[in-house]
Copies of this chain bind each other. A is one copy, B any other.
Amino acid sequence: MSIRIGILGYGNLGRGVESAIRQNPDMELKAVFTRRAPESVKLHTEHIPVVHLEDIRAWRDEIDVMVLCGGSATDLPEQMPEYAREFNVINSFDTHAKIPEHFAAVDAAAREGGKAALISVGWDPGMFSLNRLISTAILPEGKNYTFWGRGVSQGHSDACRRIPGVLDARQYTIPVAESAARVRRGEQPEFQTGDMHTREVFVVAEEGADRAAIEAEICSMPNYFADYHTSVHFISAEEMQKNHQGLPHGGFVIRSGVTGFLKEHKEIVEYSVKLDSNPEFTGSILVAYARALYRLASEGRKGCLTVFDIAPAYLSPLSAEELRVHLL
């Protein structure tokens, strides 16, 4: 019997989850839930019902794990505590600073409903967090460095689109190669905000817009751009359409530590991802962890968990014996 997955929210991430389910024969997409008019939503998978969010409770016994694919700003903080009472829920909540608060709300709701929940499952937070934890435990004396990119940041792109005269914008976050090289050499530098990343923005401007003013407004935007070296390129709508429609991303986490009686040896551990599709990779992580959540819930686990609480064997469809033979 396959694990029955529900998707709540059908944007880029929802489609990423849908496509990942197809690569896992032990899992099955049962239904997609949406706030939109269901008949307006066209899935990639045939014969799967699209259900209005109002009717979600009728599916309580049909769904083993509900994957919430809304945004971290407003959707997930509302939806997770609400649905954690009724379903085993999982998300990729990524507002690092608000994780403790989110965890507490989801944990209380899941315990009330006797369900299991899993938050912040993606690559950062998620895989990067796992690597930070494990390498910090292994090398207690050292420093962690997280670099992101080259990849599209939706938040920064959106911020540029709100500027008057901007029709469309795409922002790439780019790690500073020389800073990464210093870390990989074991130097353990102290970086300022702008030392680790630069930002590159492609803008489609209205005809006759003041390009110099747009560029100045982008580069001086506090938090988003002011602390970084930022380059702005004005391009045509055609070029935007042709060269900037993908959602590539990537990044790397490095632990630079020392060992030895005199702390004379450097040990460098690095985890990196290079992604053609950020939402499909995140969706793939969510699906593997949905399998783990289903298994843990079946064993009677209740309340909220994170990737830190999941023994890796739970992620794989293979048996413990197969894992030891083929992957250990």
Closest B residue, CB atoms, query A103? B324
Asked whether A16 is an interface residue with its Cβ less than 8 Å from the other chain, the reply is yes
CB distance from A60 to the nearest CB of B (A): 27
Asked whether A78 is an interface residue with its Cβ less than 8 Å from the other chain, the reply is no
Which of A137-145, A152-160, A190-198 participates in binding chain B? A137-145
A99→B270 contact, CB < 8 A: no
B267→A22 contact, CB < 8 A: no
A285→B328 contact, CB < 8 A: no
A129→B270 contact, CB < 8 A: no
A308→B328 contact, CB < 8 A: yes
A261→B323 contact, CB < 8 A: no
Instruction: A140 to B283: give the CA distance in the assembly, Å.
Output: 13
- Given A22-B261, A140-B24 in contact, is the A323-B280 Cβ separation under 8 Å? no
- Given A260-B280, A267-B284, A285-B138 in contact, is the A312-B23 Cβ separation under 8 Å? no
- Given A23-B141, A309-B311 in contact, is the A16-B134 Cβ separation under 8 Å? no
A136→B327 contact, CB < 8 A: yes
CB distance from A234 to the nearest CB of B (A): 29
Task: From B132, B276, B312, give the contact of A308 (CB < 8 A).
Answer: B312
Instruction: A272 to B120: give the CA distance in the assembly, Å.
Output: 24
Closest B residue, CB atoms, query A134? B312
Instruction: A256 to B19: give the CA distance in the assembly, Å.
Output: 17
Report how many residues on chain A are interfacial, defined by Cβ distance under 8 Å. Answer: 70
Query: Which residues from 12 to 29 on chain A have a C-beta closer than 8 Å to any C-beta of chain B?
Result: 16, 19-20, 22-24
Closest B residue, CB atoms, query A275? B267
A267→B273 contact, CB < 8 A: yes
Instruction: A33 to B169: give the CA distance in the assembly, Å.
Output: 65
- Given A20-B259, A260-B280 in contact, is the A309-B316 Cβ separation under 8 Å? no
Q: Digitize A163-183: 1 where CB-to-B-CB distance is under 8 Å, 0 elsewhere.
A: 000000000000000000000
B-chain residues with CB within 8 Å of residue A1 when the two chains form the complex: none
Query: Which residues from 284 to 328 on chain A have a C-beta closer than 8 Å to any C-beta of chain B?
Result: 284-285, 288, 291, 306-313, 315-317, 320-321, 323-325, 327-328
Closest B residue, CB atoms, query A120? B328
Asked whether A113 is an interface residue with its Cβ less than 8 Å from the other chain, the reply is no
- Given A133-B316, A267-B277, A308-B312 in contact, is the A328-B259 Cβ separation under 8 Å? no
Q: Digitize A225-254: 1 where CB-to-B-CB distance is under 8 Å, 0 elsewhere.
A: 000000000000000000000000000000
7 contacts between A and B (CB under 8 A): A22-B261, A133-B323, A138-B281, A260-B277, A267-B276, A268-B275, A310-B311
Besides the known contacts A19-B260, A309-B311, 9 further A-B residue pairs in the complex with CB atoms under 8 A apart? A99-B324, A132-B327, A137-B288, A137-B316, A267-B273, A267-B275, A270-B271, A306-B328, A310-B312
Q: Residues on A close to B: CB < 8 A?
A: 16, 19-20, 22-24, 44, 96, 99-100, 103, 120, 125, 127, 129-134, 136-141, 184, 257, 259-261, 264-277, 280-281, 283-285, 288, 291, 306-313, 315-317, 320-321, 323-325, 327-328
Closest 9 pairs between A and B when the two form their complex, measured CB to CB: A265-B276, A137-B315, A259-B280, A308-B313, A265-B277, A268-B274, A137-B288, A137-B316, A129-B328
